[in-house]
Structure 1
Amino acid sequence: MNKDQNNFTSEKRKNYSDLLELGIVAAFIFLIICIYVPRAIWDEEESLQGESHFFMENMYDVQNFYKSVMGEYSPDGLWAVQVVNSVRDSLSGDSTYLGNQSITLNNKTFSVNVPKGYDIEFDTTFGFPMMRRDTISDTIATIVMYSEDLSRNDTSYVQKKLLNKFTSDTNFVELVEEVPSERVEVINYYDTYMPDSSMYFCPVSQKPYLISLEDEGNSVRVGSPIEETIVRRRYVLFAFKADNHGFIDDGSKSWDR
């Protein structure tokens, strides 16, 4: 009898121990969730806010390019995007596409005034500054030239591709040697892109940005369409939240203040 009771007690303790271990594991998992899930949500909020700011900057720049060719801003952001991109495409096909030009979009023909340097400014505005290092293989020639100023022979070092220019000179004396060499050249360039219709819409609300003309049409404002805080549940206990992402008013960004 005592033996059976002891076995029952031992088994009961084992069950309690198993439940305790299970509870500890569950608590540990819950702790991990409480640490990492909010961080992931905050990162998502920051990422979408940054993306929204980037889109607004692009829409504001589009308005400036639109004004440079049309003479005024446009409250229709999608139309402005089409016009400035079309002008850039035309310049890609014809570098003389400058000054007063005719353009047709959506079965509508109208005139634009394309300023010189539009393409360069467009590519640097809608582009990310990049840098690369190129290894250049070359051959350096050592030559002797007679210097009239010094009244004696003088040694010079020139690239092989320029050698003919010196050997044909009447003051050329001799070619001493040619030495292969390599050098690293830093190239700065822009990784360009074309603004598109997706940038006209807030990545959170999917509503178009608010474009309004101010100061009798002499300035433009691009603002976030979020009027009330957007709340989206994540894993029951947590929530993604997005407030108004700000605005750009005549070049002044609210998030830089």
Structure 2
Amino acid sequence: MSEKNISELRKKRKMHSDLLEVAIVLAFIFLIISIYVPRAIWDEEEYFENQSRFHMENMYDVQNFYNSLLEEYNPDGLWVMKVVNSVRDSLTGDSTYLGEQPITLNGKSFTVNVPKGFDVDFDTTFGFPMTRRDTIMDTTMTIVMFSEDLSRNDTIYIQKKRLDHFQADSNFVALLEEVGSERVEVVSYYDSYMPDSSMYFCPVTEKPYLFSIKDEGNIIRVDSPIEETIVRNRYAIFAFKAGNHGFIDDGSKSWDR
């Protein structure tokens, strides 16, 4: 075999080797995409499903607050939200805004009956339970008081903020010591939010949720507006899919069954 043929053979082998390496790299990239892209799409589908159901829960709760004010449900979710939020705002400015109260919204005047505890129920319903750790600085005072029961002086320990009260007592004898201390206290609270108009719409279709009033106006139902499975292409060979996200009927959630 001539040197020319040997050289060409080597070139072909090198080219085949290079092509094989490229093919291996591409196969590896495709493998990574096949593993991670579907996972990302599933996470996206789950996110929108959870978000949509969260919106439905909020709209159902808003309807119930509206019902507590006007003893009726209303299929206009945006109007219901405006009324409920307006009452909550009024309670923020005036804690005595209770009982029958006149209200004017969008040129409409009507009367709402605000129950006691409306603000607390609102903040706990539309809020996320949270905890925090607060560092509390305390000062303990050691004082001597004359005890009439014991007929002698008695040493007691009190908080500094109560010192004036004891010093005003005729049985107060003396202040012996003042000691500072520090303690950590776990405080539970709600990170509250106001329902807004975005919750009136499905995050996938951007269509409003469907409200139906049943049982002579005593029951409200909230439905997802998705009628058929929505398919959206992702990266040419993958697809995002969203089916109907369920409903809430008289407090019963379809996804809890």
TM-score by length of 1: 0.97
CA distance in 1, matches of 2:24, 2:185: 59
Residue aligning to 1:101: 101
Structure 2 counterpart of 1:173: 173
Report the counterpart of residue 206 of structure 1 in structure 2.
206
Tell me by how many angstroms 1:152 deviates: 3.0
Tell me the distance in 2 between the aligned counterparts of 1:175 and 1:79: 63
How is 1:61-210 mapped onto 2 (pairs within 5 angstroms)? 61-210=61-210
What's the offset of the Cα at 1:146? 2.2
Cα shift at 1:173: 2.1
Q: Deviations over 1:198-251 (max 9, x none)?
A: 101111111111100011110100011111001111011111111111110000
Quote the Cα distance in structure 2 between the aligned partners of 1:22 and 1:125.
57
Residue 59 of structure 1 corresponds to 59
| Separation of aligned partners in 2, 1:124 and 1:255 | 23
Aligned counterpart, 1:36: 36
Deviations 1:137-166 (A, max 9, x none): 221111122222233332221111111111
Quote the Cα distance in structure 1 between the aligned partners of 2:11 and 2:157: 93
Taking the aligned partners of 2:183 and 2:142, their CA distance within structure 1 comes to 17
Amino acid in the other structure paired with 2:104: T
- Rounded to whole Å, the distance in 2 between the matches of 1:175 and 1:97 is 47
| Structure 1: gaps (5+ residues) | none
% identity of equivalent residues: 72
- Report the counterpart of residue 219 of structure 1 in structure 2: 219
Q: What CA distance in whole angstroms lies between the structure 2 residues aligned with 1:225 and 1:9?
A: 66
In structure 1, how many angstroms separate the alpha carbons of the residues matched to 2:150 and 2:43? 70
Q: Output the amino acid matched with 1:154.
A: D
Distance 2:152 2:237 in 1: 88
User: Secondary structure at 1:139's aligned position in 2?
Assistant: strand
In structure 1, the partner of 2:231 is: 231
- Measure, in 1, the Cα distance between the counterparts of 2:5 and 2:157: 102
Aligned pairs, number: 257
User: Aligned letter for 2:125?
Assistant: T
Amino acid at match of 1:176: L
Q: Deviations 1:53-91 (Å, cap 9, x if unpaired)?
A: 100000000000001111101111111001100111111
Structure 2 match to 1:250: 250
Structure 2 counterpart of 1:240: 240
1:94 maps to a residue whose letter is: D
SS of 1:133's partner is strand
Moved >6 Å (runs of 4+): none
SS at match of 1:240: strand
Range moving further from structure 2, 9-18 or 141-150: 141-150
